[in-house]
Amino acid sequence: MKRIISHAITSFILSGLILGTGCEMPDPPEELDVDEVMVEEPRVEEPLVEEELTRATAEISPLNVREVRGQVNFQQVPEGTRVTARITGLDPNGLHGFHVHEGTDCEEPGGHLSPYDHEHGAPTDPRDERHKGDMGNLEADAEGIAVYDRILVNVTMDAPPTIIGHVVVVHEGPDDLETDPSGEAGDPIACGVIRLVN
């Protein structure tokens, strides 16, 4: 009520001023009233940064004659990062080491991503007894197709050090999940750069 009265008084004074100067300008339109603008509900801002940093993907392509292809997706979840993948062209019923390596170039991947210099381990090991990039093995079925789905508790995408921009590597042989630094998984046979999904 106070505001309405204040508005009425303001309008009255403004009208008087305008009449007093002999000017024939109309009253300002209602939507320009400062009081009305200020009582509007504040706009709820979307958490854009959080949304932008929560999904990433890597397109896996062959590094040699073996037609190993597929996609690896990374999704931020409350516990860490959920990694899902479907890779084809693997050894039927075979195991293939599967890691995030340092570097941004599939032609020259570095070692397993390990910003805190931990030793090699299994994805189920405690976070200080494994590389951040240790994702274990892809387990292929009789058709050479592997489906992977695991939550990595020591990987985040919305805070440094990030996995984004590094490379996912599929190896020729199985990762023994303990031999430092590589798990004796053999040569890389396929790879993809991890890119943010907008």
Chain residues in the site for Cu ion (CB under 5 A): 99, 169
3-state secondary structure of 27: coil
Q: What is the DSSP letter of 140?
A: B
- CB 169, min distance to Cu ion, A: 4
Q: Where in 9-79 does DSSP place strands (E)?
A: 55-62, 69-77
CA distance from start to end of the chain: 48
Burial label for 73, CB within 10 Å (0-12, 13-18, 19+), is middle
Distance (Å, rounded) from C-alpha 94 to C-alpha 92? Answer: 5
* Residue whose C-alpha is closest to residue 174's, from 99, 116, 107: 99
- Minimum CB distance to Cu ion, residue 135 (Å): 9
24: helix, strand or coil: coil
CB of 42 to Cu ion, least distance (A): 49
Other CB atoms within a 10 A radius of the CB of residue 61 amount to 14
Minimum distance from residue 153 beta carbon to Cu ion (Å): 20
Q: Residue 60 Cβ, how far from Cu ion at the closest point, in Å?
A: 13
**Number of neighbouring beta carbons within 10 Å of residue 87:** 24
Q: Pick the closer one to Cu ion by CB: 11 or 94.
A: 94
Q: Nearer Cβ to Cu ion, position 56 or 106?
A: 106
